[in-house]
Amino acid sequence: MDDQQLLAIIRQHQPMLYKICRLYRDTREDREDLFQEIVYQVWKAYPAYRAEAKVSSWIYRIALNTALAAFRKRAPPVIYRDSLPEQAADPEDARQELQEQLFAALKQLSDADRALMALYLEDLSYQEIAAITGIAENYVGVKLHRIRNRIKTLLKL
């Protein structure tokens, strides 16, 4: 692979990287910093990539490790809202509010559970999730079921 191929791969996986940044950072500036750090780490690891795993798995692992390492260095404060709006006027506003609630619930999960949910939300198969995380494929299903129940409880569904 050359540098142009690497840039194309990063562009292709940008939405996934943005989701990871959103899960681990609260402000736009912090997300941009994390995205930049992830791209730097991918570029640094690029010469050692041996194509033993799918490119998406390789990038995902780097992104999660970077997000977790940076998150442990500086844990952001948790911001709680006093109340939710009574009713959203615009359906797009309602969708945005639901998305915010979901991300707030995801941020309350442990790092490992948050990483599993990020992979799940990327529509990866249990087999792919198992390969990335190093846990057994059947345990991925068990963990995701428990995590989804915890999120339902957090969202009071």
Measured distance CA(92)–CA(10) in Å, rounded: 29
Residue among 104, 124, 7, 5 at smallest CA distance from 64:
124
This model's pTM is above 0.85 = no
The structural architecture, per CATH, of the domain 90-157 is Orthogonal Bundle (1.10)
Res. 41 pLDDT band, cuts 50 70 90: very high
Residue 23 near residue 114, CB atoms below 8 Å:
yes
* pLDDT tens figures, 46-63: 888 887 778 888 898 899
* 72 compared with 107, residue with greater pLDDT: 107
Percent of the chain whose predicted confidence (pLDDT) is above 70: 85
Within the chain, which residue ranges are assigned CATH 1.10.10.10? 90-157
Q: Which of 116, 93, 94 is nearest to 106 (CA)?
A: 116
Contact 133, 119 (CB under 8 A): yes
**1-77 carries CATH number 1.10.1740.10:** yes
Q: Return d(Cα 115, Cα 119) in angstroms, integer.
A: 6
pLDDT in tens, 77-119: 556 666 655 554 566 777 788 888 888 888 898 888 988 898 8
